[in-house]
Amino acid sequence: MDTGGAVRGLPRGPDGGARERRTAQSVINASLNDVSCPSATSCMAVGWFLGQIPGTSGFQDFPLAEQWNGSTWTVLPAPAPRHPGGGELLSSVSCSGNTSCMAVGETQVEVPPGVTNLHPFAESWNGTKWQVVPTPKLANTGASLSGVSCTSGTGCMAVGSEGTLRNPTLFTLAEQWNGSAWRW
């Protein structure tokens, strides 16, 4: 079969030639869930990875962030509180510029006996580092954020769901970022 000079399996670029495959850095037991690109040479991808809690024999999910500079992906440090048996997962990211991103997801806290309770989780990128952004206390005990969209560093809307522990009924959730705090 004639592949037109393209390497098999590589997608074709706009000019019809084969594009080079670019892969994110290898992180074991991990997933990237969303990506936002304010320009062709600046993208941020977020997700989670399963890792060992430093200084312990316990494991938890940790937030994962990777940055694209136009030619390579780099794994960035993303802070995470300790939650043995649980952890933090990032589901969505929105970047309004190269130095302004907001990522949202959930904190998983194991509540004995073997039940996981969810709380909204958010982190912001200032161009240099990721930092945890506190989310408001909600009326119900279980909640997560699954999507975020930002028009600027001071204007984001995040959506998700909330409900009560051990109850399958969920309610819609929307939170707004004003540059200094989340409001619902």
Look at residues 121, 27, 111 and name the one whose alpha carbon lies nearest to residue 76.
Answer: 27
Q: What does the alpha-carbon distance between residue 157 and residue 148 come to, in Å, rounded to a whole number?
A: 6
In a domain, residue 19? The reply is no
Domain assignment present for 105: yes
The pLDDT, as a whole number, for residue 156 is 97
**pLDDT of 43:** 97
- In a domain, residue 11? The reply is no
Query: Could you say which residues of the chain have pLDDT below 70?
Result: 1-28, 84-85, 113
Give 110-164 pLDDT, tens digit per residue.
Answer: 877 677 888 999 999 999 999 999 998 887 778 999 999 999 999 999 999 998 8
The answer to whether position 83 is within a domain reads yes
User: What's the total number of domains in the chain?
Assistant: 1
* Residue 14 resides in a domain: no
Nearest-Å Rg of the Cα atoms of the chain is 19
Show the domain range for 162: 30-183
- What confidence score (pLDDT) does residue 84 get? 65
- pLDDT of amino acid 5: 30
Q: pLDDT value at position 139?
A: 78
- The answer as to whether 142 is a domain residue is yes
Burial of 46 (0-12, 13-18, 19+ CB in 10 A): buried
Reduced to 3 states (helix: H, G, I; strand: E, B; else coil), residue 100 is strand
Q: How many C-beta atoms surround the C-beta of residue 124 within 10 A?
A: 18
Question: Could you tell me if residue 78 is inside a domain?
Answer: yes
3-state secondary structure of 133: coil
Q: What is the pLDDT of residue 7?
A: 27
Please tell me whether residue 107 adopts helix, strand or coil conformation.
strand
Residue 58 lies in a domain: yes
How confident is the model at residue 14, as a pLDDT? 40
